[in-house]
Amino acid sequence: GVIRYGKGKWILGYNHFLGKYSVAVAELWVILDGLLLLQKQGYDEVTVQLDNLENVISICE
């Protein structure tokens, strides 16, 4: 995953070995890992951008 400031400036990159998962599940893991990293860094307001409608619906429910 990649975490950037609002104007696109890179903050950090990260990875996590998952094994065999669908693309949708892997993307959800990336989001969770990124949010946990941001929380540890003290960020309390973030915007998550997704291009997978299935995951957008899952997160909103």
Please give the residue range of the domain that contains residue 31.
2-60
CB 14 within 8 A of CB 33: yes
Please write down the HEC assignment for all residues of 29-40.
HHHHHHHHHHHH
Q: What is the mean pLDDT of residues 11-39?
A: 86
CB 35 within 8 A of CB 46: yes
Distance CA 47, CA 45 (A): 7
Q: What is the pLDDT of residue 42?
A: 92
What pLDDT digit, counting tens, does each position of 37-58 carry? Answer: 889 989 888 888 888 888 888 8
**Number of structural domains, the chain?**
1
What is the H or E stretch that residue 3 is in?
Answer: strand 2-4
